[in-house]
Structure 1
Amino acid sequence: MSMLAKDATKRPKDENFPVASLVLSPEHREAVLAFYAFVRLADDVADAPDLGASEKLARLEALEQALVMGDPKAPEAMLLHEADKKHRCGIAQAREMLRAFRQDVIKTRYNNWEDLTGYCRLSANPVGRFLLQLHGECASAYAPSDALCTALQILNHLQDCGKDLQNLGRIYIPLQWTMPLGGDKAFFDPAQAAMRRMILDAMLDRVDSLIDSSRILPERLQNKRLRAQSMATIALADRLSRRLRTSDPVLERVETNKADKARAFMVGLSGLIRKPESQDTHVTAEAVRRSGSSFRLGMQSLSYERRRAIHAVYAFCRNVDDIADSNVPPSEKIRFLREWRREIDRLRRAPETPIGRELARASSLFRLPLEECHALLDGMETDSAERVRLSSDHDLHLYGRRVAGSVGTLSVHVFGVPKARAFALDLGRTLQLVNILRDVDEDAARERVYIPLSRLAQLGLQDAPAAALVADPRFARICETLAEEARTGFAAADEALTSLDRAALKPAILMMENYRRVLDRLIARGWGMRQGRLRLTTADKLHLLTRAMRPA
């Protein structure tokens, strides 16, 4: 007799992602179906609308006891018990998931990202661990499997966010993320699409990082059939993430379609034919492609290994910068940046992310000074504050050293010109001055002002809300002074290049010329009547492209 009087609410074919696809061998499919049936039953108990919390908990406890004993009165429990006897896995993972279902009965909110992923460790990751143990896979596959399972769970939560609230009273959007923007009521308000989009995209950024960390999973699997299923699942996760970025799950049902599933099947099929190649280089190259940065032009002039290394450096910089600029609370930003600190510390042992593995390779080949990665993270922590102000020129210099000098130092090592370190540090400071001048209003919207308070005080300006500071006519006069310092910096860089290997430094020179043109446009426009962020013209871009195609 089943523990519920009604049929299961879902069957394997109803799930977003493959559960027991025909790709798996018949022997393994039988065990997977037994696991799914038991877990589906337990999930239905936790979600039953006609049961009180105490009754749900009692039934979940009875299910666990039936599973451990192999009670024939509970067929789903007995079948999984028998599968565990045969394959030596299933019971332990199901009991972990029962902890999640008990949590669903008594907990309806998750405070932050760590709280949410902690829930996923119980509600999703055991599924992957079960499949790995069932197929006799190595422990090296556990971490990428966990990343994939967590990503899938959060994608499902985003997809079902409206339904979860309406039917179950549960919200899996971190409370700390919604509170600054109006809380749950504002998040689910149909009229608040722009605010909701910011939170959804911030969550999808984290999900995409998890998916990237999972891409090594197929490489680490020995069973071809499981490898094929993992590849198809990753492809579907990618697709659902992209669909959630362009659609609003509060206003409509967002899901993958038959074409998405067909493409994913073909991806998985390739895993049956041959072992997949590493995706690490794809992840870093894709980060460069998405950025649209003019720095890409210079990268193309590098040899394969140097280009691969600079892609890794750029992807790291882009990732941590996106964290600092994301619409999540400062405490969450700091937590994510500290995860990167731990990854940098693992580079000489066993990095866990695609970017980390590519950085480790680059460090080995080109002796990257990894302390510069920590310097950059120091700068990103500055940017992650609720409110950014710099007290003095010393603070401005230190900030520029961290966020730009670090990147320059890493880059000249990749270019094979480590003796150009002083050039890289000075140019980095100059480029950062241009960034500050270009992004005055964009930074002010984030309550960031990088003009030192000491300089503002010289003209009688006291600290105030950022929007008020940058609107004051006196602020424009300080920008003019900073622009002259940037011009002087470019002149010094030109002089330094006369004694350096210009061919090797071509990517840096192209970046310098790009920023020099931005500065010229800013000076011509002035700072009194700013109208959004200045962008280079088509003629500017053609000029840079022409320079990129010429020898240095």
Structure 2
Amino acid sequence: MHMQGLSAQATKRPQDENFPVASLVLSRRHRDAVLSFYRFARMADDIADAPAMSPAEKLARLDALEQALVLGDETVPQAARLNAADARHGAGLAEARQLLRAFRQDVVKARYLDWAELEAYCTLSANPVGRFLLRLHGESDAAHGPADALCTALQILNHIQDCARDRTQLDRIYIPLGWLDPAGGEHAFFEPSQAKARRGVLDAMLDRVDDWIDRARALPERLQDRRLRAQSIATISLALALSRRLRRHDPVEARVAISKTDAARAFIGGLAKAPRRPIDQDARIAAAVVNRSGSSFWLGMQSLTQERRRAIHAVYAFCRAVDDIADGAAPSFEKRRFLAEWRREIDRLHRAPQTPIGRELARASIRYKLPLSECHALIDGVETDCAERVRISDDRALDLYARRVAGSVGALSIRIFGAPAAHDFAIGLGRTLQLVNILRDVDEDAACERVYVPLSRLAQAGLQDAPASILVADPRFAGLCEALAAEARAGFAAADDALKRLDRAALKPAILMMESYRRILDHLEVRGWGARQGRLHLTAGDRFQLFTMAMRAA
């Protein structure tokens, strides 16, 4: 099949792409091969996207293009050049054939059911690009995992960025169909007036993308070629910049792009950092999760020694990761799948963890003998929150839920604090803190159709199960909140009593956490339970008192 007519009509040049293609950072001896790979991929992409061709013609042309690549057919310069580059460098042909599978898929598949299908597409459409660069530069297999993570992140960022254009011009939607449902389905998702519902879905997708970017941060330290390392640092920086922009701006209303300032900053940073000895990013990633969260536990963490603080950062980052899954806008079945991935990560923690948080958690587990069964218990508890409608049947179920989502964190933390004898204290305090969480977040939870006051207690008050907003607005619900508050107050008293027999110095972070929650309960009781006005936060005065307490010897 004659192909030269189309090959002269490339729709993009390397400099038109979001992310660097054959940049000047790369060595001259590699740049020509990279350009050959890019031009071949660009040609194949243009065939798959050609509006005037039928699907059958597109597939035939892609088959002919692959044959030209394998044979090095001189009548198709893009194929011949890449074939020659592969002969010189031992890289390009196999990866390009993988890309052709993705382009064929684009011809016949316009929708994706779930996140797994989207990620599988990325293994064909994006990951081969990273594998090509690694093989071209003679890098080891150790770089494959983070390189795949970066390529997957870049591909999904492009899909989010171009979601409106892909739908109108190509009738393709890479946002999984199951993820469109919370926003009202495909048509509603793309309605300009549905920005709020769309925002939740986009942010949930970006949460997954940011997880891939975090995995990719290990790439520079695993690369031997300094120039490729510089480009990887720049590309990671650009991915983060685009993710941040997509969180601030709506790609359905207007295409969101990286600024020239972002690009310049990324490349300057890549060139500056590449010559240095690569830094282990895992601890930084876990600490960044803690810093972003603004957790009331932050002050307690700061009172620890550096090594213990690093370990508690790992535990908190893990808790935050699984909790964010439950609280995001992804469909319930996807949330459960993401939690299952974390279960597998915990199971392989002492063999080969695949995530930065997993590696940090493994380090903490070895150093402080953490019971990993508690990590599974936390996931069990968080899985309760993944349901589209959450109700707790009775007091026993409430105790089990609190033991899993809060007691597990306490059981892990006291070992890092150096007070394993305080296990019972940690479990009891965890339940108390969870009761305060439930009281503080009544309305926020109700908006997600979650009610944690047990159905058995609702029935005793004469309340039948109903939509959450109706239940929490009923005057009788206030009385149930008062009863829970009394239980929490008793829990704090029991913790005070237990501390008389425990190592208060070692438990200082737990005490600071306890006091912050005690103050929240104080404010909730002063405000009352019948006239709630949004989520209650600690005051500046509260924070100053806690800071003063942290500065004093325990």
Cα distance in 1 for partners of 2:277, 2:56 equals 49
Q: How does 1:297-312 map to 2 (within 5 A)?
A: 297-312=299-314
Cα distance in 2 for partners of 1:505, 1:180 equals 43
Moved more, 288-297 or 265-274: 265-274
For residues 105-152 of structure 1, the C-alpha deviation after alignment (integer angstroms, 9 at most, x for no partner) is 111111111111111110000000111111111111111111100000
Offset at 1:5? 5.5
1:63 equivalent among 62, 65, 84: 65
Cα distance in 1 for partners of 2:274, 2:337 equals 39
Offset at 1:546? 1.3
The SS at the match of 1:250 is coil
Offset at 1:191? 1.3
- The answer for the alignment partner of 1:93 in structure 2 is 95
The SS at the match of 1:89 is coil
- The answer for the alignment partner of 1:454 in structure 2 is 456
The SS at the match of 1:429 is helix
The SS at the match of 2:278 is coil
Q: Which amino acid aligns with 2:211?
A: S
Moved over 2 A (4+): none
- The answer for the alignment partner of 2:123 in structure 1 is 121
RMSD, matched Cα: 1.0
- The answer for the alignment partner of 1:430 in structure 2 is 432
The SS at the match of 2:274 is helix
Q: TM-score, normalising length from structure 1?
A: 0.99
8 A Cα contact 2:183 2:201, kept in partner: no
Offset at 1:3? 5.6
Q: Which amino acid aligns with 1:256?
A: I
- The answer for the alignment partner of 1:352 in structure 2 is 354
8 A Cα contact 1:445 1:466, kept in partner: yes
- The answer for the alignment partner of 1:138 in structure 2 is 140
2:448 counterpart of 1:469: no
8 A Cα contact 1:3 1:63, kept in partner: no
Cα distance in 1 for partners of 2:177, 2:244 equals 24
Q: How many pairs are equivalent?
A: 552
- The answer for the alignment partner of 1:184 in structure 2 is 186
For residues 512-540 of structure 1, the C-alpha deviation after alignment (integer angstroms, 9 at most, x for no partner) is 00100111111111111111111222211
2:239 counterpart of 1:237: yes
Offset at 1:398? 0.3
Q: How does 1:275-424 map to 2 (within 5 A)?
A: 275-424=277-426
2:482 counterpart of 1:488: no
8 A Cα contact 2:446 2:472, kept in partner: yes
Q: Which amino acid aligns with 2:101?
A: R
2:549 counterpart of 1:550: no
The SS at the match of 2:312 is helix
Cα distance in 1 for partners of 2:56, 2:483 equals 69
Offset at 1:230? 0.5
8 A Cα contact 1:2 1:76, kept in partner: no
Moved more, 495-504 or 399-408: 495-504
For residues 378-405 of structure 1, the C-alpha deviation after alignment (integer angstroms, 9 at most, x for no partner) is 0011110111111111100000000000
Offset at 1:454? 1.1
Cα distance in 1 for partners of 2:197, 2:452 equals 26
- The answer for the alignment partner of 2:56 in structure 1 is 54
Offset at 1:271? 3.8
The SS at the match of 1:185 is helix
- CA separation of 1:352 and 1:332: change in aligned 2, threshold 3 A: same
Cα distance in 1 for partners of 2:5, 2:110 equals 24
Moved more, 227-236 or 160-169: 160-169
Cα distance in 2 for partners of 1:248, 1:263 equals 24
Moved more, 314-323 or 180-189: 180-189
- The answer for the alignment partner of 1:172 in structure 2 is 174
Cα distance in 2 for partners of 1:187, 1:400 equals 36
Gap runs ≥5 in structure 2: none
Offset at 1:50? 1.3
Gap runs ≥5 in structure 1: none
Q: Which amino acid aligns with 1:25?
A: S
For residues 443-475 of structure 1, the C-alpha deviation after alignment (integer angstroms, 9 at most, x for no partner) is 111111111111111122121111111111111
Cα distance in 2 for partners of 1:441, 1:130 equals 51
- The answer for the alignment partner of 1:218 in structure 2 is 220
Moved more, 531-540 or 394-403: 531-540
For residues 356-412 of structure 1, the C-alpha deviation after alignment (integer angstroms, 9 at most, x for no partner) is 111011111111111100000000111101111111111000000000000001000
Cα distance in 1 for partners of 2:269, 2:341 equals 31
Q: Which amino acid aligns with 2:288?
A: E
Cα distance in 2 for partners of 1:157, 1:353 equals 23
Offset at 1:6? 3.8
8 A Cα contact 1:3 1:59, kept in partner: no
Q: Which amino acid aligns with 1:262?
A: A
Cα distance in 1 for partners of 2:146, 2:482 equals 50
Cα distance in 2 for partners of 1:189, 1:363 equals 48
Offset at 1:68? 0.8
For residues 299-339 of structure 1, the C-alpha deviation after alignment (integer angstroms, 9 at most, x for no partner) is 11111100000001001101110100001110000000011
8 A Cα contact 2:520 2:537, kept in partner: yes
8 A Cα contact 2:182 2:329, kept in partner: no
Q: Which amino acid aligns with 1:260?
A: D
2:75 counterpart of 1:44: no
8 A Cα contact 1:224 1:271, kept in partner: no
- The answer for the alignment partner of 1:202 in structure 2 is 204
Q: TM-score, normalising length from structure 2?
A: 0.98
Offset at 1:233? 0.3
- The answer for the alignment partner of 1:273 in structure 2 is 275
**How much identity, in percent, do the aligned residues show?**
69
- The answer for the alignment partner of 1:149 in structure 2 is 151
- The answer for the alignment partner of 1:248 in structure 2 is 250
Q: Which amino acid aligns with 1:387?
A: R
Cα distance in 1 for partners of 2:211, 2:172 equals 25
